[in-house]
């Protein structure tokens, strides 16, 4: 029976409508409770800022492509090295940290939950091997379905129940949390070096369109009543003018009804999909029409995919875009096709403030967050490590909070950027409450894990708490951005499941977090038809036996299983 | 009892369709495997008990596990520059323990890729690698190239399961759907089965690759009449065939990684494949030897940031091939103790390295007697992974699979032995600090 009392906290807990209240937080056995006994361990927050533990709904922290990044980039592993301590293992890497640094880095910033955003089913075992090794934080994975043969065949044959049954089986097989769709159909086209060009361009040999893939997977997602909505990386990512595809893609799901208290569509790292112009010469921001759409429609959420200047390792299931990137930048290129399922690519690159292309990309992310009125609709991410590594979140948070901080950055950036974006004229500055929404509350809500104790500090929630060494009452975030960034970078305390894991920015304990996954029932007749097709595909086309395919329980040693079902 | 869908603990094909008959806790028959795989699973004379000797020329005496483990821990804890080598024929779970042990002793951990596909990793540092899973190649490839490898001998089921004879969704006529080309210095059994055999002069693969790159870039005019022993006419024909392919796959082996040019060959081959992707779809993949040599690269990368040759003497992982690989260190006579597990340094290292191993204490963890045993001071037998122990292995295409346990034995697992050594090392180091 361990008890803890955090006294004199200035608490921002948007899910519970707590906006800077001075209060105490009581913890018992890893959960938030109403009160504790006098013998509880006490932490005096002294009026400092307290948030629920940070949640990252879209990041690339584990699995095959992260390891490809590490193996390709010994130059990256030479960065940020720290020797082991009495509690920590040695740390390496900046954009592709080793598993230990991955967990410590999040915990240092007061983050306690992160979801890996691209898990191919065939390689899910690998993802889970790494997830299990990442210390401290809780985790989950989003499973790739967007170029999968089982999915496309069911859609072509207009068999929604079979599709739903396969989604349920795929989530079980991969021990996944949600449905990820990357460049729908493009991964299959990339199997022969091609791509799809838009929502209505049929996938070669499969005769289904990206529109159908998105639409039907969204319907299957709701039929299965999954905690998270579909999580979509749009077609045409990385191409000037792609904002039109993005807007059209939003419309595909406009009338999909969510049965839960959440969006019916999450579109990810929209910075990379809000591009105007016809080519790199007239490249410009189209964040405004995207933000307008969000301001008029509440069925969808997005995340920023903010760009951070400096080194990045881009990694995505969008194989063709990575080849294009690598050829354009003469960069190293790794590709990783996954039979019957999807593609992937990894390319290291460097974002330069003096490149107006990169400057515009930098601006778009911030514009999306600042021009969209409802803070719950835009999650703060860098699509780690695509826009830049997650350790830069504190800097991005100050950019959202302070126009002066943005101006300081603007001074470094190529001038052409500001003819083609509106960032310089945006006065909006987010407050402590907005930042709590954008870095934890809405991530948890979008993922569907609020009811499982994440993203808030209500009674019964997991005692995942961040105390930052800053007093909101005495700090003007619009001017004291360096102080704010330093505070967010290294938490005074990070408490994970009621245990102090970070004190004064140092890791003090390394418990193992849990892994969220969803077990869903499926329609019986659809399941039978699905199984028949699946067995045929294993017999003829997969290179592994069906009996050896599914992730075994041994790989998810700390599961948190949410059961749901077909309706 | 027949156990189905068994994985094979022999080569990087990691075939997972074997049927093994077990009677009274003994393997009596292995179906679907190649001869080498079957013989590995059937088993042969193994080391029966831990053994030690002070004089490498002397006779071993049988000792208890505790004595062998404690003595091993003492050697490693007191060594200034221990080498922890091998790992390729073990499971990922024990590799992670090995990396922890290396942290404890501040040594160098390295695996068999050092003398095998290590140069491929260097090529990947330079250029990345466009690749995929074996099923992708089986379903799609209409052009199959084997370069400096001989699967008929070394990966006996590769051609039937993954690369040549198997029918795929698009390559639906199997062998007839594909053109098979072999580049090699000698006419191997694989070359005998190919549509084209291209004989390359020993050590001149790099030149041939460069010529092909020029041809693919429409610069055939710069190519001399003959390159690396191959007539220009033939090279042009091959370059054009590559450009015309819908899906080309290059499987490469030691003939490319360990011949003259080494990692530069791989860099060049990867560059060729990358450039070919402007025409059709092309991939390249190393033919990994041991069934889980790929797993070591994966585990070591996620644990340390590097795929092998990791020096922990500074307290943080340090990697610099040419300086921190097993043979670099042995030849410079830096190594003062060697720990060899799940691989055979004795059979595969150059003489100069072996000479150094002859002078320093050698600890071997292995179920079987091999040339390393001849140099060892301590030998600790363990379970045969994938036969007597379940756990994770990575196929040559980096797909991880769970190996099955077929029979029970009393031997400890590699992981159990490593756990005990780590505990003892901590005890010794704790007492001395």
Could you read off the pLDDT of A300-335 as tens digits, one per residue?
999 999 999 999 999 999 999 999 999 999 999 999
Q: What percent of chain B has pLDDT over 90?
A: 98
The sign of the torsion formed by the CA atoms of A175, A181, A183, A184 equals positive
Structure tokens at A238: 């990385």
Q: A493-496 and B179-184 as β-strands: parallel, antiparallel, unpaired?
A: unpaired
E strand intervals along B275-398: 281-286, 310-311, 318-319, 337-341, 362-365, 378-380, 391-394
pLDDT of residue B45: 87
Whole-model pTM: value is 0.98
The residue assigned the tokens 């940031």 is B305
pLDDT of residue B44: 82
pLDDT tens column, A147-205: 999 999 999 999 999 999 999 999 999 999 999 999 999 999 999 999 999 999 999 99
The sign of the torsion formed by the CA atoms of A203, A209, A214, A219 equals negative
Three-state DSSP class for residue A318? coil
Inside any domain, residue A460: yes
Mean pLDDT of chain B: 97
Structure tokens at A56: 């990252």
Distance from CA of B320 to the nearest CA of A (A): 9
pLDDT (average), residues B348-356? 97
In angstroms, the CA B180 to CA B149 distance is 13
DSSP for residue B162: I
Three-state DSSP class for residue A98? coil
Inter-residue contact B19 to B1 (CB < 8 Å): no
pLDDT of residue B433: 58
pLDDT of residue A519: 98
Question: How many CB atoms sit inside 10 A of residue A248's CB?
Answer: 15
Q: Are residues A37 and A69 in the same domain?
A: no
pLDDT of residue A259: 86
List the Cα angle A340/A342/A348 in 5-degree steps. 145
Residues 6+ apart with CB under 8 A from A255: none
| Nearest-Cα residue of chain A relative to residue B404 | A548
pLDDT (average), residues B127-137? 98
| Nearest-Cα residue of chain A relative to residue B100 | A89
Cα B133 to chain center, whole Å? 17
Output the CA torsion A406→A410→A412→A417 (10° steps). 140
Inside any domain, residue A230: yes
Output the CA torsion A137→A138→A144→A145 (10° steps). -160
Q: B400-403 and A41-44 as β-strands: parallel, antiparallel, unpaired?
A: unpaired
In angstroms, the CA B1 to CA B21 distance is 6
Distance from CA of B126 to the nearest CA of A (A): 7
Asked if the ipTM is above 0.95, the reply is yes
| Domain, as residue range, for A481 | 3-52+452-507
Q: Are residues A36 and A102 in the same domain?
A: no
On chain B, the residues whose CB falls within 8 A of the CB of A124 are: none
Inside any domain, residue A409: yes
pLDDT of residue A124: 98
Three-state DSSP class for residue A308? coil
**Final residue in a domain of this structure, among A447, A463, A491:** A447
Q: Are residues A456 and A441 in the same domain?
A: no
Q: Are residues A218 and A349 in the same domain?
A: yes
| Nearest-Cα residue of chain A relative to residue B96 | A133
Q: Does B129 lie at the interface with A, CB-CB under 8 angstroms?
A: yes
On chain A, the residues whose CB falls within 8 A of the CB of B248 are: none
* Residues β-bridged to residue A519: A563
Cα A222 to chain center, whole Å? 20
Cα A167 to chain center, whole Å? 20
- Please write down the HEC assignment for all residues of B40-59: HHHCCCCCCCCEECCCCCCC
The residue assigned the tokens 């129940």 is A161
Residues 6+ apart with CB under 8 A from A411: none
Q: Which helix (H) or strand (E) holds B303?
A: helix B293-304
Through-space distance between the first and last CA atoms of chain B, rounded to whole angstroms? 54
| Closest residue by Cα to residue B315 from B85, B96, B107, B110 | B107
pLDDT (average), residues B391-419? 98
What are the residue ranges of helices labelled H in A63-197?
A: 64-72, 74-77, 99-108, 124-133, 149-156, 160-174, 186-189
With respect to CATH, is domain B118-286 assigned 1.10.1740.10?
no
With respect to CATH, is domain B47-115+291-432 assigned 3.40.50.800?
no
| Closest residue by Cα to residue B285 from B298, B277, B276, B294 | B294
Q: Does B126 lie at the interface with A, CB-CB under 8 angstroms?
A: yes
Distance from CA of A226 to the nearest CA of B (A): 28
The residue assigned the tokens 């003819």 is A419
Q: Are residues A201 and A308 in the same domain?
A: yes
pLDDT tens column, B231-254: 999 999 999 999 999 999 999 999
Distance from CA of B163 to the nearest CA of A (A): 11
Consecutive 10-residue averages of pLDDT for chain A (567 residues): 93 98 98 96 98 98 98 98 96 98 98 98 98 98 98 98 98 98 98 97 98 98 97 97 98 95 97 97 98 98 98 96 93 98 97 98 98 98 98 98 98 97 98 98 98 98 98 98 98 98 98 98 94 98 98 98 89
Structure tokens at B119: 């140069």
On chain B, the residues whose CB falls within 8 A of the CB of A122 are: 133, 399
Task: Kindly list the domain boundaries of chain B, sorted by start residue.
Answer: 47-115+291-432, 118-286
Q: Do B278 and A192 lie within an 8 Å CB cutoff?
A: no
The sign of the torsion formed by the CA atoms of B149, B155, B161, B162 equals negative
Nearest-by-Cβ selection for A71 from B124, B138, B246: B124
Inside any domain, residue A154: yes
Inside any domain, residue A161: yes
In angstroms, the CA A505 to CA B118 distance is 38
Confidence of residue B290 (pLDDT cuts 50, 70, 90): very high
Q: Are residues A216 and A265 in the same domain?
A: yes
**Final residue in a domain of this structure, among A447, A466, A489:** A447
In angstroms, the CA A63 to CA A339 distance is 16
Q: Do B131 and A336 lie within an 8 Å CB cutoff?
A: yes
Phi, psi of B26 (to 5 degrees): -125, 140
Q: How many domains does chain A have?
A: 2
User: Residue A490: which CATH number?
Assistant: 2.30.40.10
* A·B CB contacts under 8 A: 184
Inter-residue contact B368 to B47 (CB < 8 Å): yes
- Please write down the HEC assignment for all residues of B234-302: HHHHHHHHHHHCCEEEEEECHHHHCCCCCHHHHHHHHHHHHHHCCCCEEEEEECCCECCHHHHHHHHHH
In angstroms, the CA B44 to CA B367 distance is 10
User: Residue A356: which CATH number?
Assistant: 3.20.20
Cα A263 to chain center, whole Å? 15
Q: Does B131 lie at the interface with A, CB-CB under 8 angstroms?
A: yes
* Residues β-bridged to residue A517: A561
* Residues β-bridged to residue B21: B2, B29
On the question of pLDDT at B109 being above 90, the answer is yes
Nearest-by-Cβ selection for B305 from A77, A149, A335: A77
The string of DSSP codes covering A221-241 is HHHTT-SS-EEEE-TTTTSTT
Three-state DSSP class for residue A245? helix
On chain A, the residues whose CB falls within 8 A of the CB of B140 are: 191-192
| Nearest-Cα residue of chain B relative to residue A336 | B132
Q: Are residues A151 and A10 in the same domain?
A: no
Inter-residue contact B146 to B181 (CB < 8 Å): yes
On the question of pLDDT at B353 being above 60, the answer is yes
In angstroms, the CA A315 to CA A387 distance is 10
pLDDT tens column, B159-205: 999 999 999 999 999 999 999 999 999 999 999 999 999 999 999 99
Q: Do A332 and B5 lie within an 8 Å CB cutoff?
A: no
Through-space distance between the first and last CA atoms of chain A, rounded to whole angstroms? 40
Q: Are residues A380 and A278 in the same domain?
A: yes
The sign of the torsion formed by the CA atoms of A404, A405, A406, A408 equals positive
In angstroms, the CA A171 to CA A270 distance is 25
Strand order in the sheet with B362-365: B61-62, B51-52, B378-380, B362-365, B337-341, B82-86, B108-111, B310-311, B318-319
**Final residue in a domain of this structure, among A507, A534, A554:** A507
Q: Does B105 lie at the interface with A, CB-CB under 8 angstroms?
A: no
Inter-residue contact B121 to A71 (CB < 8 Å): yes
Preceding peptide of B47 cis, ω within 30°: no
């Amino acid at each position: 029976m361990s008890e803890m009392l955090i006294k004199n906290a200035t608490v921002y807990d948007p899910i519970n409508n707590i906006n800077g209240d001075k209060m105490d937080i009581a913890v018992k056995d890893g959960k938030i409770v109403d009160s504790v006994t006098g013998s509880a361990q006490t932490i005096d927050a002294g009026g400092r800022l307290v948030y629920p533990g940070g949640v990252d709904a879209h990041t690339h922290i584990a699995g095959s492509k992260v390891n490809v990044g590490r193996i390709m980039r010994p130059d990256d592993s030479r960065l940020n090295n720290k020797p082991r301590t009495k509690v920590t293992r040695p740390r390496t890497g900046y954009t592709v940290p080793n598993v230990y640094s991955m967990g410590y880095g999040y915990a240092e910033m007061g983050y306690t939950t992160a979801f890996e955003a691209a898990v191919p089913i065939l390689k899910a075992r690998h993802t889970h091997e790494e997830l299990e090794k990442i210390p401290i934080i809780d985790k989950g994975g989003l499973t790739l379905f967007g170029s999968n043969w089982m999915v496309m065949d069911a859609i072509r044959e207009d068999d929604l129940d079979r599709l739903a049954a396969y989604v349920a089986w795929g989530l079980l097989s991969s021990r996944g949390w949600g449905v990820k769709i990357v460049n729908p159909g493009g991964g299959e086209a990339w199997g022969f070096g091609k791509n799809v060009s838009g929502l209505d361009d049929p996938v070669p040999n499969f005769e289904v369109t990206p529109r159908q893939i998105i639409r039907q997977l969204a319907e299957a997602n709701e039929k299965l009543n999954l905690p998270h909505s579909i999580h979509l990386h749009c077609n045409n990512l990385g191409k000037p003018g792609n904002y039109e595809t993005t807007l059209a893609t939003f419309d595909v799901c406009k009338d999909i009804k969510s049965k839960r208290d959440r969006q019916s569509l999450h579109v990810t790292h929209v910075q990379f999909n809000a591009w105007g112009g016809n080519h790199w010469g007239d490249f410009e921001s189209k964040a405004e029409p995207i933000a307008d759409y969000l301001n008029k429609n509440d069925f969808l959420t997005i995340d920023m995919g903010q760009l951070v200047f400096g080194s990045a390792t881009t990694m995505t299931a969008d194989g063709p875009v990575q080849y294009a990137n690598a050829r354009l930048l003469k960069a190293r290129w790794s590709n990783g096709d996954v039979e019957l399922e999807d593609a992937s690519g990894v390319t290291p690159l460097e974002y330069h403030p003096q490149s107006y292309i990169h400057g515009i990309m930098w601006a778009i992310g911030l514009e999306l967050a600042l021009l969209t009125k409802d803070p719950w609709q835009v999650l703060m991410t860098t699509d780690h490590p695509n826009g830049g590594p997650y350790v830069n979140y504190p800097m991005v948070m100050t950019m959202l909070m302070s126009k002066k901080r943005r101006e300081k950055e603007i001074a470094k950036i190529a001038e052409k950027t500001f003819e083609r974006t509106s960032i310089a004229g945006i006065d909006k500055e987010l407050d402590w409450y907005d930042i709590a929404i954008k870095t934890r509350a809405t991530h948890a809500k979008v993922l569907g894990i609020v009811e499982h104790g994440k993203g808030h500090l209500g009674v019964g929630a997991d005692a995942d708490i961040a105390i930052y060494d800053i007093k909101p009452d005495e700090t003007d975030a619009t001017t004291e951005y360096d102080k704010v960034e330093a505070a967010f970078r290294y938490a005074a305390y990070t408490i994970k499941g009621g245990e102090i894991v970070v004190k004064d920015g140092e890791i003090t304990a390394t418990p193992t977090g849990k892994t969220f996954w969803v077990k869903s029932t499926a329609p019986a007749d659809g399941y039978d038809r699905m199984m028949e097709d699946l067995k045929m595909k294993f017999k003829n086309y997969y290179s592994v036996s069906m009996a050896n395919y599914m992730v075994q329980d041994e790989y998810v040693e700390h599961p948190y299983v949410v059961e749901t079902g077909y309706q | 009892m027949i156990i189905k869908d068994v994985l094979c603990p022999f080569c990087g094909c990691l075939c997972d369709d074997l049927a093994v008959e077990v009677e009274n806790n003994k393997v009596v028959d292995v179906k679907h495997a190649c001869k080498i795989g079957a013989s590995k699973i059937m088993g042969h004379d193994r080391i029966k008990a831990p053994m030690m000797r002070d004089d490498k020329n002397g006779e071993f005496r049988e000792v208890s596990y505790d004595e062998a483990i404690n003595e091993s821990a003492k050697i490693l804890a007191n060594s200034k520059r221990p080498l922890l080598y091998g790992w390729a024929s073990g499971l990922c779970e024990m590799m992670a323990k090995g990396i922890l042990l290396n942290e404890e002793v501040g040594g160098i951990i390295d695996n068999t890729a050092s003398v095998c596909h290590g140069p491929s990793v260097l090529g990947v540092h330079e250029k990345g690698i466009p690749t995929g899973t074996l099923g992708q190649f089986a379903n799609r490839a209409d052009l199959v190239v084997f370069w400096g490898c001989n699967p008929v001998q070394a990966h006996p089921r590769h051609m039937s399961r993954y690369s040549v004879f198997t029918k795929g969704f698009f390559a639906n006529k199997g062998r007839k759907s594909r053109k098979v080309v072999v580049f090699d210095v000698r006419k191997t059994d694989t070359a005998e089965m190919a549509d084209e055999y291209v004989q390359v002069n020993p050590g001149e693969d790099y030149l041939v690759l460069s010529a092909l790159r020029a041809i693919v870039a429409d610069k055939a005019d710069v190519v001399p009449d003959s390159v690396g022993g191959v007539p220009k006419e033939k090279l042009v024909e091959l370059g054009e065939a590559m450009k015309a392919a819908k899906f080309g796959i290059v499987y490469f082996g030691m003939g490319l990684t360990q011949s003259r040019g080494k990692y530069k060959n791989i860099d060049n081959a990867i560059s060729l494949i990358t450039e070919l992707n402007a025409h059709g779809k092309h991939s390249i993949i190393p033919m990994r030897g041991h069934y889980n040599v790929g797993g070591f690269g994966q585990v070591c990368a996620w644990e340390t940031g590097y795929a092998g040759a990791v020096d922990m003497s500074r307290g943080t992982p340090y990697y610099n091939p040419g300086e921190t690989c097993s043979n670099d260190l042995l030849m410079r006579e830096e190594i003062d103790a060697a720990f060899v597990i799940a691989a055979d340094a004795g059979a595969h290292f150059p003489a100069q390295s072996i000479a150094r191993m002859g002078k320093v204490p050698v600890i071997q963890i292995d179920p079987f007697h091999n040339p390393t045993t001849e140099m060892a001071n301590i030998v600790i037998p363990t379970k045969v992974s994938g036969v007597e122990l379940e756990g994770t292995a990575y196929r040559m295409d980096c797909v991880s699979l769970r190996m099955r346990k077929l029979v029970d034995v009393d031997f400890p697992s590699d992981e159990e032995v490593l756990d005990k050594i780590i505990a003892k090392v901590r005890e010794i180091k704790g007492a001395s600090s």
